[in-house]
Chains A and B, each alone.
Chain A
Amino acid sequence: MATIEEAGPNAPVTIATRVDKVSPRVRLGGKLRAGVVITVTVVGLIPVLVMIVTAFKTRTDILASPPLIAFQPNLEGFVFLFTDRAVVAASRIQEFTARAEAGQLNLWEQIAFESGQEITGTSDYVRRLQNSLIIAGLSTVASVVLGLFAAYAFSRFKVPGKDDLLFFILSTRMLPGVVVTIPIFLMYRQIGLTDTHFGMILLYTAFNLSFSVWLLKGFIDEIPKEYEEAALVDGYTRWQAFYKIVLPQAVTGIAATTVFCLIFAWNEYAFALMLTSEKARTAPPSIATMLGRGGIEWSAIAAGSLGFLIPVVIVTFALRKYLLRGITFGAIRQ
C-alpha cells in the first residue's frame, strides 16, 4: 500500500518520532483525526451492511416499515436465488405439511415451503454463475499470459515505436465500452460469436490486455536485467532465461495482475448485457433482471449481490499492497 514508508538506517530521524516530546495538543489532534476517519469508514460501509442484512431477511421483513433492525435471520433469499419454485397447490399442502413434520423435507425445501412454495429445479442464476466463472477465469488466464509475454518484450527488447505502441495499448482501455460494442455486436453476429463463451472470453481478454501489459511491465522493469544477462552468458536461451529467471521473480506481479483482471471480468456488466442473452449470460446482468420475476425478490437480489461481493472483498484485502498500482494501471510510476 502506498502508505508504507521507507524505514531503516537511511530514514531521516525527525523530532516527531520521539513520542515523549509530542505535545498533548498534537496527540489529541491525532486521536481526533483517527476518530473522524473511523467514523467516515463506518458510515461508508453502512450500504454494504444493509445489503448483507437484507440477504438474510424474509420477504415480509424487508417490506416492513419502519425497516427492521432486529429480525430473525433466514436463508430464504439464498433459496430463492438458487432455485426455481412453484406455489404448492392447495390440494398438496396437507401432504407437504405431513412431510415437513416427519422431517422428510431438506433444509432448502423447508425454507421454500415456509412461504408456500415447492422447489422445482435450480434457477437460471446457477448457470449464470457458472458462465461468470468460466468467462472470467479463462479470459483472465489468457490476458495475463499474453500480457506477460508482451510486457517482457516491451521491457527487455528494443521495439520500434515502443512508446507509441504502449500508448496505443493503454488508449484501448480508455475507449468507452459502448463505442466498440456496436461494431463488435455486428461482427460477432456475422461470425456467430454472439452469446458464446468464446466471444465473451475474447472480448474480456482484449479489454484486460492493455491493463495487464502495463501493470506487468512495471513489475518486470523492476527485476534487474543483470540476472538474465548472467543466465544468457551461462548458456541459457532467451526462453529459458525468461522462463526460469524472470517468471519466478515476477510472481507477485502476476498474482496482482491476475486478480485485477479477474475482478474486472467478474464485475463487468455492459458488454454482458449487450452481447449475451441466454447461453453465455454472466451473473451481473442477471442479478439486475431478477427484478422482473414475480415481484421484486429483494432478499434474492441481496443474496446474489452478497455472494458476488465476497470474493472481491477478500481480494481487496489480499491485495492491499498492489491496489494503487493496479487501479491506475501504470499511469503512476513509483
Chain B
Amino acid sequence: MTTANAHTHTALPTSGAGKQRRHLSDGAIRNLFIWPTLALLITMNVFPLLYSLYLSFTNYSAIAGKAPVWVAFKNFGDILGDEQVWQHFATTGRYALLSVSLQTLLGFGLAMLVRQKFRGSGLVTTFILVPMMISPVVVGLFWKLMYNPTFGYFNYLLGFTDPSRAPDIIASAFAGKPVPNLALYGVVLVDVWMWSPFVMLLVLSGLNAIPDYLYEAAAIDRASSWFQFWRITLPQVAPLLLIAVLFRTIEAFKSFDLVMGMTGGGPGDQTELVAVYLYRAAFLGQFRTGYSSALAYIILIIIIAVSNLYIKYLNQIRGES
C-alpha cells in the first residue's frame, strides 16, 4: 500500500505536462519521499510495539477466542518469579558472554593477522567472511550433521565411534561418567565460527584508520612493539571493537535461528535461550500471548539497558582519545 503510494506520487512530476512540474515544491517532494517509509515503519514497528505492551498486561491467548482480560502486572510477576525462566536467562547470559568474548578474541586476532597484506590476502579475507553470509538455520543444520553422534565427523575424530581407537586421555576422562552438558558449548562454537569474521571486519576497518604517524613517532622513540600495541593500536581500535561487541551482544540475546536449526532448545533445556523459550510460549502449546508479550518486553528492556551501558562506556573512551 505504501509502496504503491510512493510510486504514484513521485511519478506525478514527470507525468504532469510542462509548467505543472514546478508546482511540486522541495518541501512537498521531501514529504512524499519520507512519509511512505515512516508510515511503513510506524505500522510495522511502532504500532506492534504498543500493541504488545498492552497485551503484556493481559492474559490473552491467541487461540482461546476470548477477549483479553486486564491482569496488570501478573505476567511480569509470573516471569520474574519463575525459576525456570531465570534459568533460561542464565543460559542466554552464559551463551552471550562465552560466544561474544571468544568472537572478540578471535576476530581481533584475525584482524591483526590480515592487517598487513600478503599475496592473495584480499581473496582470503573474503573467504573468511563466507560463514556469516549463510542463513543461520542452514548453518545450524549442517553443523548438526557434523556433530551427529554416530556418523558425524567430531565423534569420529575424537575416536568415540570406535572406542578402541579413542585417544587414551579423552577415553579415560569420560569413562564411566555421565555425558557432560556440552550442548551449549556446541552452539557457542558454531556462533563463534559464524560471527568472528564480523568482529574481524570491524576491527580491520578500525586498524586501517589508525594514522601512520603515530607508529612513526613510536618508532622514532624506539618504543617496543608490545608498547605500541597497548598504547597505540588498542586504544585506537577500542571504539570499533566495542561497537562490534555491542552488535554481537544484542544479536546473542536475540539468538534464535541457529539454536532452532541445531538443537531446538534441547537436549532437555540445555540450550533453551530466552528467544527460543519465547517462541515456544507464544506460538506452541497454549499460545500464551499475553505472557510472552511480557517476556518479550523484558528482553527488550535488557537489550536497551545493555546497549546503553556500552554506549556510555564507548563515549567515555571516545572522549579520552
Contact = CB atoms under 8 A, between A and B. Distances in A.
Interface string B163-189: 000000000000000000000000000
10 contacts: A2-B208, A48-B131, A54-B142, A65-B150, A177-B256, A182-B293, A189-B62, A273-B279, A287-B141, A312-B133
B41 A172 contact: yes
A159 B34 contact: yes
B21 A239 contact: yes
Which of A41, A183, A184 has the largest number of chain B CB atoms within 10 A?
Answer: A183
B36 A50 contact: no
Nearest to B13: A239
B130 A316 contact: yes
A331 interface: yes
B31 to A, nearest CB: 8
A134 to B, nearest CB: 15
B208 A50 contact: no
A184 B44 contact: yes
A209 B292 CA distance: 26
Interface of A: 1-3, 5, 12, 14, 30-31, 33-34, 36-38, 40-41, 44-45, 47-48, 50-51, 54, 62-67, 142, 145-147, 149-150, 152-154, 157, 159, 165, 168-169, 172, 174-187, 189, 202-203, 205-207, 209-210, 213, 237-240, 243, 263, 266-270, 273-274, 284-285, 287-288, 298, 301-302, 305, 308-309, 312-313, 315-317, 320, 323-324, 327-328, 331-332, 334
Contacts of A180: 44-45, 48-49, 52
Contact of B45 (A5, A175, A320, A323): A175
B138 A169 contact: no
A316 B118 contact: no
B1 to A, nearest CB: 8
Contacts of A237: 13, 21-22, 24
Interface of B: 2-3, 6-7, 10, 13-14, 21-22, 24, 26-27, 29-30, 32-34, 36-38, 40-41, 43-45, 47-49, 51-52, 55, 62, 110, 113-114, 116-122, 124-143, 145-146, 150-153, 156, 161-162, 193, 198, 201-202, 204-205, 208-209, 212, 216, 240, 243, 247, 250, 253-254, 256-257, 260-261, 275, 278-279, 282-283, 289, 292-293, 296-297, 299-300, 303, 307
Contacts of B24: 237-239
A236 to B, nearest CB: 9
A305 B141 CA distance: 8
Given A178-B279, A205-B3, A239-B14, A172 B243 contact: no
Given A3-B204, A184-B44, 15 more contacts: A2-B208, A34-B118, A37-B114, A44-B128, A47-B146, A63-B150, A149-B33, A149-B36, A157-B29, A175-B45, A175-B49, A177-B256, A183-B55, A237-B13, A273-B260
Given A174-B250, A179-B300, A284 B208 contact: no
A316 B51 CA distance: 38
B142 A266 contact: no
Contacts of B198: 327
A12 B212 contact: yes
Nearest to A291: B141
A34 to B, nearest CB: 4
B135 A327 contact: no
B292 A182 contact: yes
B60 to A, nearest CB: 9
A322 to B, nearest CB: 12
A270 B21 contact: no
Contacts of A157: 26-27, 29-30
Contacts, number: 308
A67 B153 contact: yes
Contact of B296 (A1, A178, A189): A178
Contacts of A149: 6, 10, 32-34, 36-37
A48 B257 CA distance: 18
B133 A263 contact: yes
B117 A3 contact: yes
Contact of A176 (B133, B193, B275): B275
B207 to A, nearest CB: 9
Contacts of A213: 37
Contacts of B138: 267, 284, 287, 305, 308-309
Contact of B299 (A44, A176, A298, A305): A176
A200 to B, nearest CB: 12
A99 B303 CA distance: 63
A66 B10 contact: no
B297 to A, nearest CB: 7
A188 B10 CA distance: 28
A183 to B, nearest CB: 4
Contact of A142 (B3, B118, B142, B293): B3
Which of B40, B52, B133, B289 has the largest number of chain A CB atoms within 10 A?
Answer: B133
B34 A320 contact: no
A153 B51 contact: no
Nearest to A334: B205
Nearest to B139: A47
A238 to B, nearest CB: 5
